């Protein structure tokens, strides 16, 4: 159950695109299409942004997209806006039960 690996920080200017990576192993990210991404603003609870690698819950802007290749998943935020500045966490199913999860260490996204 080692945490997934994310870069500690990422940044971009308004209107630009930024991609955040999330690297695991064949036992988690690479083994299942159950990767999720969460956005967390300071002092707030996390919010689900992407699930099953590429799907967006209702209400999440289509500026947010997800992908996966091998053991690495990615979150891309296009057309960056000031309100996108937050911490982003990936998570993956670990193969146990139907709900065991491992999170990434988190990435602080700064909008310059």
Partner 1 sequence: EVQLVESGGGLVQPGRSLRLSCAASGFTFDDYAMHWVRQAPGKGLEWVSGISWNSGNTGYADSVKGRFTISRDNAKNSLYLQMNSLRAEDTALYYCAKDARYTVATIKDWGQGTLVTVSS
Name the residue among 14, 9, 51, 57 with its Cα closest to residue 33.
Answer: 51
Name the residue among 76, 28, 69 with its Cα closest to residue 49.
Answer: 76
Secondary structure class of 9 (helix, strand, coil): strand
Query: Residues 12, 73, 106, 111: which binds partner 1 (CB under 8 A)?
Result: 106
DSSP assignment letter at 96: S
Query: Residues 20, 29, 38, 73: which binds partner 1 (CB under 8 A)?
Result: 38
Query: Residues 46, 65, 66, 73: which binds partner 1 (CB under 8 A)?
Result: 46
Residues in contact with partner 1 by the rule CB under 8 A: 1, 3, 32, 34, 36, 38, 40, 45-48, 51-52, 57, 87, 89, 91-94, 96-106
């Amino acid at each position: 159950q080692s945490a997934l690996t994310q870069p500690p920080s990422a940044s971009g200017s308004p209107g630009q695109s930024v991609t955040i990576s999330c690297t695991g192993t064949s036992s988690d990210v690479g083994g299942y299409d159950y990767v999720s991404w969460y956005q967390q603003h300071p002092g707030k609870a996390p919010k689900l942004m992407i699930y099953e690698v590429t799907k967006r819950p209702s209400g999440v802007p289509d500026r947010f997209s997800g992908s996966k290749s091998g053991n690495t998943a990615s979150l891309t935020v296009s057309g960056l806006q000031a309100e996108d500045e937050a911490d982003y966490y990936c998570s993956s199913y670990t193969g146990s039960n139907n709900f065991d999860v491992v999170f990434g260490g988190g990435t602080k996204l700064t909008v310059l």
